[in-house]
Amino acid sequence: MRRLILAAVLMTSGVVAAADPADSSTFALPDANALVRACSVPPEHKLYANAMGFCHGVLTGAYRYYEATVTAENRFVCTPNPVPTRTVVMNGFVAWAKAHPQYMKDPPIDTLFRYLEATFPCKK
Which DSSP letter does residue 18 get?
Answer: S
2 vs 112: CA distance, rounded Å: 10
Helix, strand or coil, per DSSP, at residue 121: strand
Q: For 59-88, what is each residue's pLDDT tens digit?
A: 999 999 999 999 999 999 999 999 999 999
| pLDDT at residue 29 in the model | 85
> Residue 82: is the preceding peptide bond cis (ω within 30°)?
yes
| Whole-number average pLDDT of the chain | 84
Per-residue pLDDT of the chain (124 residues; tens, 9 = 90+): 444 444 444 433 444 444 455 455 554 689 999 999 999 999 999 989 989 999 999 999 999 999 999 999 999 999 999 999 999 999 999 999 999 999 999 999 999 999 999 999 998 6
pLDDT for the residue numbered 11 = 39
Share of the chain above pLDDT 90, in %: 73
Task: Specify which residues 77 forms β-bridges with.
Answer: 121
